[in-house]
Amino acid sequence: MNRIPLTVVDVADAEPLVAEVLRSGSLVQGPMVERLERGFAEVAGTAHAVAVNSGTTAIVAALRVLNLAPGDEVITSPFTFAGTVNAILEAGASVRFADISTDFTLDPDRVADAVTARTRVLMPVQLYGLAAAMAPLAELADRHGLAMVEDAAQAAGASCDGKPAGSFGIGCFSLYATKNVTAAEGGMITTDSGKVADRLRVLRNQGMRTRYDHVAAGHNYRMSDVHAAIGVAQLARLPEIASRRAHNADRLTAGLAGCPGLALPAVPPGRVSAWHQFTVRVRPGARLSRDDLAKALAARGIDTGVYYPRVVFDYDCYRAHPRVHAVPLAEVPVAAAAAREVLALPVHHRLTDEQAETVVAAVREELGG
């Protein structure tokens, strides 16, 4: 049986560019990284883009630029990948959570409730490729003097009110293997501020402005030109990848409309999703539970994923952490329900129309609709 995979890694066309780097004998951060940075600044609509070696590192570096003091707080989503929280902790900050809306992104009203005297940063997570409600969030950040740092790891190509994800403050992208644009591993930080970009370039290279001119205690956050070559080839295909994902999302949405027990992902007005995932919710009262539907689809050769099975702070390592403000799950009811109900269906750019129809028919048959 031919399985329908949830994700595909499709980078074979990067071979000539990677070979060019290998033949040059210059593997470390160089012209290919610069080329990738220029391309990414265009996608995010920012003046600058700074490449680093992972999405997690991108968030760490973005926060380090802000010179946070111990006890300073970042407010973020409780429904995210642990990388968001790990990066905040690595940067020395404390983390507080505000519940999400049913679109899976930060709820501005809950953020307003969560702001304290120690809040310094607002970090929306542009989950599944959907930007949060950025206008009210930006307004809140302005009112409280907070920096805006987007976890746009999954959102290359997304936008809100015509503004690209990654352009609302400091944007942090991931180029991990399964993200919409990959460099195998990698990250990108986008900003309109020349000062922030300059600081990031110094920090990522052991705090050096030029060789052995150390002006800050930095780190090695550099991306290699080998990885950047994969990213450059991928970025050239982003329009094609994005439109194919949107096409597939439209087909799944049309095909699954009205299916009993199923809530479909909605894109609020003004937003363009990058469709990193197409995530449905299997509601209470559906004929099968979320986990049983996943098993039934797997038996039919359709792979699915649960992003994420638990609220991000709901692990002993975070609940016990002195800088994590974990709360009872009842205080983040929308995130807690999402963790029980979400199921990602294949939407990737290599999914054919026929495969999308197979997915639709299988889900409908299993849920009796």
Ligand X SMILES: *Cc1c(COP(=O)(O)O)cnc(C)c1O
**Contact window for ligand X (CB under 6 A) among 77-85, 162-170, 201-209, 317-325:** 77-85
CB 186 within 8 Å of CB 173: no
83, 169, 218, 231: which one contacts ligand X (CB under 6 A)?
83
CB-nearer residue toward ligand X: 293 or 312: 312
| Between 125 and 147, CB nearer to ligand X | 125
Smallest separation, CB 54 to ligand X (Å) = 4
Taking CB under 6 A as the binding criterion, the range among 6-14, 49-57, 133-141, 262-270 that sits at the site for ligand X is 49-57
CA atoms within 13 A on the CB side of 305: 16
Helix or strand run (H / E) with residue 283: none
* Rounded least distance, CB 197 to ligand X, Å: 20
**Stretch of 76-84, 261-269, 281-289, 357-365 lying at the interface with ligand X (CB under 6 A):** 76-84
> Interface with ligand X includes 150 (CB under 6 A)?
no
7 vs 199: CA distance, rounded Å: 35
For ligand X, give the closer residue by CB, 182 or 358.
182
Q: How far apart are the first and last CA of the chain?
A: 25
Site for ligand X in 180-239 (CB under 6 A): 187
Binding flag, residue 84, ligand X (CB under 6 A): yes
Select the residue whose beta carbon is closest to ligand X and give its number. Answer: 55
Q: What is the DSSP letter of 146?
A: P
Strand segments (E) across 8-116: 48-52, 73-76, 94-97
Considering the complex, state which of residue 164 and residue 187 has its C-beta at the smaller distance from ligand X. 187
> Does residue number 80 form part of the binding site for ligand X (CB under 6 A)?
yes
Stretch that binds ligand X, among 19-27, 79-87, 102-110, 288-296 (CB under 6 A): 79-87
**231: amino acid identity, one letter:** G
Cβ of residue 188: shortest distance to ligand X, in angstroms?
10
How far apart are the C-alpha atoms of 163 and 272, rounded to whole Å?
10
Q: How many residues bind ligand X (CB under 6 A)?
A: 14
Q: Backbone dihedral region of 368: left (phi > 0), alpha (psi from -120 to 50 degrees) or beta?
A: left
Q: Of 39 and 83, which has the nearer Cβ to ligand X?
A: 83
Q: Give CA 38 to chain center in angstroms.
A: 20
* Beta strands 147-151 and 94-97, pairing class: unpaired
Contact between 153 and ligand X per CB under 6 A: yes
The whole-angstrom separation of Cα 214 and Cα 45 is 31
Q: Does 77 bind ligand X (CB under 6 A)?
A: no
Cβ-based nearer residue to ligand X, 235 or 367: 235
Q: How far is the CB of 227 from ligand X (least distance, A)?
A: 11
Spell out a b/e string for 153-188, using b for 16 or more CB atoms within 10 Å of the CB, else e. bbbbbbbbeebbbbbbbbbbbbbbeebbbbbbbbbb
Interface residue with ligand X, options 29, 46, 56, 224 (CB under 6 A): 56
The Cα 114–Cα 134 span in angstroms is 17
Pair 287, 336: CB distance under 8 Å: no
Cβ–Cβ under 8 Å, residues 74 and 94: yes
The smaller minimum CB distance to ligand X, of residues 154 and 273, is found at 154
Q: Which residues bind ligand X (CB under 6 A)?
A: 54-56, 80-81, 83-84, 125, 151, 153-154, 174, 176, 187
